Structure 1
Amino acid sequence: MAELGGGEHELLRELTRQMSRDGAPDLGLVVGWLGRRIGAEVGLLAEGGTVVAGTPGFPARIPDWLARVFPRLAGGYVAAAAERADGRWVRCQALGPRVPHPVLVVTSSSELPGEARSLVSAAGGVLAALHGSRAAAALSRNHQGWARQLRFAVLSALLEGHPFLARRMMAGAVPPLLDAAAVRVYLLRCGPTDRDRISEVFQDELGFHGPDLLVRCPVYNHHLICVLAEDADDTVSHRGTLRRLVRENPRYSLGVSGPHPLAAAADAYAQASNALAVARNAPNRIADYRGQAALVSLLPEREALAWARSFLRPLSGAPRLTVKVARFATDVPQAGVARLLGISRNTVRAHVRRVEEALGADLNDVSTRAALALALAVVGPGSNGGGEPVAPTLEALLRTQPAVVWAEAFLSPLHEDGHRDLDSTLRAWIDANADAQRAAARLGISRNTVRARVRAAERLLHRDLLNTGSGVHDLVHALRITRDTPVLTVA
């Protein structure tokens, strides 16, 4: 297999070259280049299974299993498929946003390594951009879409705690952000169409934003996720630009996280999301995250790890994608998980059902999601078992002194003068599974009053409570801790 480093950079140059010339794009150049680069036979299939372009050894007749699955790939029902057929490994990827999709097919004598698969995916993005249009303007739009996909892939790797994987995606064209010692997330709320305009205005020739990364959120249509290098000079950073945009646009708001290592970008995003909930009601519509240390960092480490591994043990044999879906499903709605991972809603629901059956729990329950999110945060990516004490219950774990101090400090703004109704309202709201109508019936007040009090609590607690995510998880744990139970000491 040829050396793979720098492949994405070459693809970007080829896309730019073909985009700038007159005439039809040459798909065969990209297909042939990919085949040589990864040492495989490659073909691009159009509607009906016609081979539009292929390497010399690409089979004239596609395998029977591919003939059966091709209509589902072309029709948009599945995004990818893989099989071993006739002694060869075959991978298929549906390309582009429109049905019928062209399908990229790669056959090899052995299974492709991860870096080669990443190159196939990147080549698929280029082929998707080149296939759909012959006009330079349309190709330019497709190039922008490919750049967005690449930025999103890098962001996804960072949010999953894998900056090294993000670097490998970029091969030789590593953007400066991936060398940053620390980053902050700036979460900008703006118009859905404004997101592309803002990110394209500040985009460089490689599809990034100098030392920063601006990506439209796949879950919330009004959010632009901006990962900014902490040590970047103000002359190249977009810190000032984002704040200026909010000052100049009365419908914009901005939440800013604290600094985090690159591998903790997900924690930075959670902070920015909570800050944005406060910013929406701030006079200048900008809020920096103000909060205590995360609960997970205050729990006794060995006991917390023992509880988390015991809690998650039923998932030990689950596919990696199932665990990934579970992790995201604690923070975003299932429809958002589907967009985030590029899979169907039905697939997400199937994985969620598998998690629920394994844990014997309902992920529609906010307390269950909070417990699962805490367990996953304690274990962290790539953690291994061994050497823990007997697992305590979650109740015992949350009754330790540091957790109680954290919870009391977290809820203390609710006990100040003028906010006496908020504590009881939040408890009723959580007991009603965050359902404002049910909470209102229990309290004898209107649904709108419940939501108004939750909004008021967001400002006081500096947490986003009305969206699924870490803010409501913190509230669940704090309310659970402060119920009338004695404090426990964990040796």
Structure 2
Amino acid sequence: MTDPKALRPAERLDEFLSLVGQTAWNPDADLQAIAEWLPRELGAEMAIVNGSLKSVELSTSGFSGRVLGHLEPMLTRLATGRVASAAMDVGTAHVRLEAVGAELPRRVLVLVSPIPLTRQAAALASHTGGIIAVLRRARESDRVIRSYQQKAHQLRVGVIMALQAGDPLLARRMTTGAVPELLDHDRLRVHILRCGKGDRERIAQAYQDPSGYHGDGLMVRCPVYDDHLVCMIADREGGGAEAADGLAAVLRDLVADNPGYTLGISGTHPLPATAEAYGQARHALAVASNTTGRVAGYHGQEPLERLLPRTEAIEWAGSVLGPLNGLPELTAEITRFALHFHRTGVARMLNVSRNTVAAHLDRAQSALGLDLRDVRCRPTLALALGVAGLHREVWLTPAQADPPALEELLRTRPAAEWGSTFLEPLRDSRYDPVRHTLRTWIDTNADAQQAARRLGCSRTTVAAHLRTAERRLTRDLLSSGSGVHDLVYALHLSGDTPL
């Protein structure tokens, strides 16, 4: 390595600025390299001391902390701003002290050398200490910014969770003083961008406004799926899934520019129906990867619960959900989420342990008399909760001595037409193997391995048929519970499988 003293001043400055540049743009870089530059240049050891705590925050390798014991009370005077600099001798060493920064208590630059420093050397040391202080301040600012970004993310998650619960007013209360523009609109669309886990925060920050939102939309890293970026965008009058401007256009451009990205888009929904919009976007996302352009909008039907006879549906749902009224609210919430997400995802979403989720689900199963691991039982509870979401009086309906049976609700013309329309994309004889696989898959409790054994084919073939069904039916069958729930009811209404 070239001897620094043999370098010309311009070369020495270039070496120093190179060190500063490498450190400034790398938040994990060690400031020690800049500190060690001083002994090589000046023959002096250096330390940055926290003046109030008398602790060394950064020092050169040859600095001895014992010297600090001889610097009182001058360290206190410098830290409190009473003096700006001082020089003193400690034994045979010459010590120079200089307050660094503007905040109180101030840091103190301590220089220890065997001989007094020249004015030029002292100025160089002072500038070096100042640069180190600036870099430390910049890192503190970076930490504050990262903390702000995390808090902004947490607030956005809270807003979206309130909307998912159908309560826009609660979302407004949570954001008093900085209400997101999204909440000033009546309707929205949910877009889900599947991208790299590390890309989500970069994208969310790139389009974030000073308030921590995204104009008339919100971007949030999905707490359940590590590769999902959930984007809720206000549906302006005249806008649609093919909107060519704003955040929706940004998402489409991202998919066009990145071959590994896909995008699912819901239909337009009122804010209280955000949960339904989110479910549609998940179904569309499952289709997007198999479509040209890797962008898909939802083109499915109305939910089955909207087609059931109102009075009978309320009485039936009340009889199913009645036992939940006596359980803790968290149990009911975990049970609802578990119908649409895997248990680990529910735990992450609600910030509880997976064991806690399992315990609450065991309690709910016992109370409801349903096996929530059974692919035919889950749709029953999901449908009842769907009815309750449409008709709040379900929770106020007293238990009926002889409530309507589910079969009676489904034995109606609208329900039959719903089931027939659902399966229409698979009516062609080319898709007979796919329908046969779907029936077998449901009969084996949605276990692809068991279905493959029963069908006498490979698990890969079963997976391929399921992906074909996803694309044709516009339903997510492999990661979303609601798609499977609809499939169970459609197959039952067609006479293919019993409930």
Per the normalisation by structure 2, the TM-score is 0.68
Q: Give the whole-Å Cα distance in 1 for the aligned partners of 2:398 and 2:196.
A: 51
When structure 1 is superposed on structure 2, of 384-393 and 251-260 the one drifting more is 384-393
Superposition pairs of residues 14-53 of structure 1, within 5 angstroms: none
Question: Which position in structure 1 is the counterpart of 2:199?
Answer: 194
Task: In structure 2, give the amino acid aligned to 1:368.
Answer: C
User: Do the aligned partners of 2:219 and 2:230 also contact (CA within 8 Å) in 1?
Assistant: yes
Aligned pairs (5 A) from 1:39-438: 135-231=140-236, 237-380=246-389, 382-383=392-393, 384-386=395-397, 390-438=402-450
Tell me how many residue pairs correspond in the alignment: 356
| Residue identity in the other structure for 1:430 | I
Residue-by-residue CA offset, 1:365-416 (whole Å, 9 max, x unaligned): 1222111111111012854434898522222222221111110110111121
The one-letter code matched in structure 1 to 2:452 is A
Structure 1: distance between partners of 2:156 and 2:301 = 31
- The offset of 1:456, in angstroms, is 0.5
Matches of 2:229 and 2:496 in 1, distance apart? 42
Per-residue CA distance 1:95-132 (angstroms, 9 max, x = gap): xxxxxxxxxxxxxxxxxxxxxxxxxxxxxxxxxxxxxx
Q: Is 1:443 aligned with 2:448?
A: no
* Paired residues of 2:491 and 2:497 also in contact (CA < 8 A): no
Q: What secondary structure does 1:465 align onto? A: coil
SS of 1:418's equivalent in the other structure is helix
The one-letter code sitting in structure 2 at the alignment partner of 1:396 is E
SS at match of 1:477: helix
CA displacement at 1:173 relative to structure 2: 1.4
* Aligned mates of 2:344, 2:181 — CA distance in 1: 32
Which of 452, 460, 484 is the aligned partner of 1:472?
484
Q: Distance in 1 between matches of 2:404 and 2:455?
A: 34
User: CA 1:371–1:176 in structure 2 vs 1: closer, same or farther (change >3 Å)?
Assistant: same
Q: Distance in 1 between matches of 2:369 and 2:404?
A: 19
User: Which letter maps to 1:272?
Assistant: A
Structure 1 residues 290 and 424: CA distance shift in structure 2, 3 A = same
Change (3 A) 1:209 1:484: closer
AA of the residue aligned to 1:426: L
Aligned residue in 2 for 1:481? 493
Question: CA contact under 8 A between 2:439 and 2:497: conserved in structure 1?
Answer: no
Alpha-carbon displacement from aligned partner over 1:330-384 (angstroms, at most 9, x marks no partner): 0001110111111221211111111011112221112221111111110128544
Q: What's the offset of the Cα at 1:324?
A: 0.7
Provide, for residues 308-347 of structure 1, a one-character-per-residue CA deviation record: whole Å limited to 9, x for no partner.
1101111121111111111100000111011111122121
| Segment drifting more, 381-390 vs 167-176 | 381-390
Stretches of structure 1 lacking an aligned partner (at least 5 in a row): 1-22, 25-132, 487-491
Instruction: State percent identity of aligned pairs.
Output: 52
Counterpart AA for 1:210: G
3-state SS of 2:231 partner: strand
Q: Distance in 2 between matches of 1:186 and 1:404?
A: 31
CA distance in 2, matches of 1:440, 1:275: 26
Distance 1:184 1:226, change over 3 A: same
Structure 1 residue 485 displacement after superposition:
9.9
- Aligned residue type for 1:440: A
For the 8 Å contact 1:255–1:277, the answer to whether it is kept is: yes
The structural deviation recorded for 1:272 is 0.5
Partner of 2:429: helix, strand, or coil? coil
Structure 1 segments of 4 or more deviating over 4 A? Answer: 232-236, 387-390
Asked if the contact 2:264/2:296 (under 8 Å) is kept, the reply is yes
**Distance in 1, Cα, partners of 2:246 & 2:277:** 17
Quick check: 1:279–1:285 contact (8 Å CA) kept in 2?
A: yes
Aligned to 1:68: none
The one-letter code matched in structure 2 to 1:307 is W
Partner of 2:471: 459
Aligned residues of 1:212 and 1:237 also touching (Cα < 8 A): no
Please report how far the alpha carbon of residue 143 of structure 1 lies from its aligned counterpart in structure 2 after TM superposition: 1.1
Alpha carbons of structure 1 residues 196 and 444: separation in structure 2 relative to 1, 3 Å: same
1:469 CA drift (Å): 2.2
Please tell me whether the aligned partners of residues 322 and 399 of structure 2 are also in contact (alpha carbons under 8 angstroms): no
- Secondary structure, in 3 states, of the residue corresponding to 1:392? coil
Measure, in 1, the Cα distance between the counterparts of 2:256 and 2:232. Answer: 20
Larger radius of gyration: 2
1:225 corresponds to which letter in structure 2? V
Equivalent residue letter for 1:435: D
Which deviates further from its counterpart, 319-328 or 413-422? 413-422
Amino acid in structure 2 at the alignment position of 1:394: L
SS of equivalent to 2:352: coil
- 8 A contact 1:338–1:348 mirrored in 2: yes
Counterpart contact for 1:210–1:236, Cα < 8 Å: no
**2:318 touches 2:398 (CA, 8 Å); kept in 1?**
no
> In the alignment, residue 180 of structure 2 is paired with which amino acid?
P
In the alignment, the residues of structure 2 paired with residue 395 and residue 376 of structure 1 have an alpha-carbon distance, to the nearest angstrom, of 17
- Cα deviation for residue 484 of structure 1 reads 6.6
Q: Secondary structure of 1:366's match? A: coil
Contact residue 302 and residue 388 of structure 1 kept, 8 A: no
Alpha-carbon distance in 1 for matches of 2:271, 2:166:
8
Please give the alpha-carbon distance, in whole angstroms, between the structure 2 residues aligned to 1:271 and 1:419: 24
Aligned-residue offset at 1:188: 0.5
- Is the Cα–Cα contact under 8 Å of residues 186 and 254 in structure 1 kept in the other structure? yes
Asked if structure 1 preserves the Cα contact closer than 8 Å seen for 2:282 and 2:480, the reply is no
Is the 1:211–1:236 Cα contact (8 Å) retained in structure 2?
A: no
Deviates more, 1:342-351 or 1:454-463: 342-351
Return the alpha-carbon distance in structure 1 between the equivalents of residues 324 and 289 of structure 2: 38
**Is the CA contact (8 Å cut-off) linking 1:414 and 1:420 kept in structure 2?**
yes
Q: Distance between the aligned counterparts of 2:245 and 2:171, measured in 1?
A: 22
Quick one: structure 1 residues 356 and 236, their matched pair in 2 at CA, closer, same or farther if it must change by over 3 Å?
A: same
Contact 2:190 2:266 in 1 (8 A): yes
CA contact (8 A) 1:303 1:388 kept: no
